[in-house]
Amino acid sequence: MDADASPQEVGRDAATDESPEDVGRDAMADLTVLPTGRRSFVVTSTLTPQPGGMGFVPLPAMHTFTMVLDWDGRTAIIGSTDGAGAGGFQPSAGGGSIGQIGSFRFGTASMGYQSIALTIDAAGKLSGTGQGMATALPAYTDVGIYTVNLSAALVGVPDVQPPGFDSTAFGPAALDAFASLTIVATEPMPIDTRLALVNRRGDRIELGPLATQGGAAFSFQPSPFKMWRYGEQYSIAFDGLVDFAGNAYPPGGGVTLTIASAPPLVAEDGFESATGSTLAGAQLLTGTGAPIITGTRSLYVPPLPDVLTAGRVQMTQFALRIAVAPGDTVLRFSYREVNPNSFPGSFFLMGSEGGQVVSPSLPPTQSTTTATISGTGTVQLGPITTAEFALPPDAAGEVTLTRIVRGAGTSMPAPPVTGLIIDDLRAE
């Protein structure tokens, strides 16, 4: 004991070694202990445009998403089928603040939050305000961009909703055998979430996370992608899935998708045995004066003109199957381009059922001659050329060859697409 200490100091040392002011501060600190762990909320955000924007950005008046707040990891995760994102979370006793987060798409418009401030009351309800920005491309052009600043009012309640999953493949329409499949979660899911496709034989195709941020998964795809089997039905297995709040996917809530029937199987006779006016979705070119490559028939895919008033959706121009013998390594055919242009407006896909998919291409045409095709009119024809497409390494039994026109979107004009005359198709 210090011989010079006063009685008051001696008493303080013997008791708590803290002054009354220190004890009061400690008591206040006990009242502001931050939460731990994660909490999930279903949040509705009401959007209000602010002055100073440029052009019209078509946005909904409000949108709803799930927000997961991680006090331990200082992370906020938000997501819905319209978009998702993760950002830094600075917590406080009554809520906290979030930095830039999220990218949501609504038709031709997209928006994100630049900041969010929120509070959580004793009943577990969330409220807050936010600032954001939205953009959109002007219709029918890629020059310039429309922008608008936004304020947002947020209200949220604890998440007690089970997770859901959405995809354009769900529904009565059959899925093309080359179509990609993306399944989007209605809310952020734990990053170890896995889905599976199960066919009628019990075979499984695993779907892993495609988009991940902040330790969460938002969408899922087969990996690696392989060509679907024609006429097959797959059920989506969701059993045992739970979201960040512990809500389970409803038992028996799986959905089914169906793969389209097989396209026609063609003989290696240059389409000579084909009948009618069409084959595999394309035209059969016949008749005196038609620019047939060999024999009396060629397969004809007409060129597509440019579309100046609206975008062009993706479409299949033809799809056909051809037998592959053991030892075959290539698919060969003769062809002529019709009204060639430099825009890559279409592409080929080739594969066997359940196997790898490849996307071969043709070299650009260097010269043209003028000709007339019935139903099309005067055209420019490229020289007769032989194409050689390497078969996928696991091709067996038969392969499917298809040509697809790229979609151009709704805000951009669609450029012209080169036509094609094909003959002498064979596997070697």
The per-residue pLDDT of the chain, averaged, comes to: 88
pLDDT of residue 30: 42
Kindly state whether residues 350 and 376 are assigned to the same domain: yes
32 compared with 188, residue with greater pLDDT: 188
Exposure string for 74-97, b = 16+ CB within 10 A, e = fewer:
ebbbbbbbbbbbbbebebeeebbe
Q: Which two tokens stand for residue 351?
A: 């594969």
262 compared with 211, residue with greater pLDDT: 262
Kindly state whether residues 225 and 245 are assigned to the same domain: yes
Which of 69-73, 272-276, 309-313 has the lowest average pLDDT? 309-313
d(CA 136, CA 58): 8
Q: Which residues contact 202 (CB under 8 A, 6 or more apart)?
A: none
Cβ-based burial of 395 (10 A; exposed 0-12, middle 13-18, buried ≥19): buried
pLDDT, tens digit, 9 for 90 and up, residues 106-153: 988 999 999 999 999 999 999 999 999 999 988 656 567 899 999 999
Split at pLDDT 50, 70, 90, the class of 336 is very high
- Is the residue at 9 inside a domain? no
Start-to-end CA span in the chain (Å) = 101
d(CA 243, CA 163): 6
Kindly state whether residues 292 and 350 are assigned to the same domain: yes
**Chain-centre distance of CA 185, in angstroms?**
11
Q: Which residues contact 234 (CB under 8 A, 6 or more apart)?
A: 197, 198, 199, 205, 256, 257, 258, 259
> Domain residues for 204?
165-258
Residue 224 preceded by cis peptide, ω within 30: yes
| Highest mean pLDDT of the ranges 149-153, 224-228, 249-253, 303-307 | 149-153
Beta bridge pairs of residue 304: 417
Kindly state whether residues 296 and 423 are assigned to the same domain: yes
Kindly state whether residues 290 and 412 are assigned to the same domain: yes
CATH code (residue 360): 2.60.120
pLDDT of residue 194: 87
- Is the residue at 28 inside a domain? no
Full-model pTM: 0.81
CA distances from 263 to 101, 398, 402 (A): 45, 12, 10
Nearest CA to 94 among 68, 123, 115? 123
CB atoms within 10 A of CB 65: 25
- Given a cut of 70, whether residue 1 has pLDDT beyond it is no
- Given a cut of 80, whether residue 278 has pLDDT beyond it is yes
Domain boundary among 258, 289, 306: 258
Which of 50-54, 218-222, 238-242 has the lowest average pLDDT? 238-242
d(CA 296, CA 283): 13
pLDDT, tens digit, 9 for 90 and up, residues 204-214: 888 889 878 99
- Is the residue at 356 inside a domain? yes
Which of 90-99, 150-159, 251-260 has the lowest average pLDDT? 251-260
Q: What is the mean pLDDT of the segment spanning 306-319?
A: 81
- Given a cut of 90, whether residue 378 has pLDDT beyond it is yes
Long-range CB pairs of 287-293 (<8 Å, 24+ gap) are: 287/374, 289/372, 290/373, 290/374, 291/336, 291/371, 291/373, 291/381, 291/421, 292/421, 292/423, 293/334, 293/335, 293/336, 293/384, 293/421, 293/422, 293/423, 293/424
Number of domains in the chain: 3
pLDDT of residue 168: 74
Kindly state whether residues 129 and 97 are assigned to the same domain: yes
Cβ contact 114:97 at 8 Å: no
pLDDT of residue 10: 43
Helix (H, G, I), strand (E, B) or coil at 31: helix
Kindly state whether residues 78 and 206 are assigned to the same domain: no
pLDDT, tens digit, 9 for 90 and up, residues 69-99: 999 999 999 999 999 999 999 998 889 999 9
DSSP state of 13: H
- Is the residue at 116 inside a domain? yes
- Is the residue at 351 inside a domain? yes
pLDDT of residue 237: 81
Nearest CA to 362 among 313, 318, 314, 422? 422
- Given a cut of 60, whether residue 21 has pLDDT beyond it is no
Kindly state whether residues 282 and 233 are assigned to the same domain: no
Split at pLDDT 50, 70, 90, the class of 25 is very low
Q: Provide, rounded to the nearest whole percent, the portion of the chain with pLDDT above 70.
A: 89
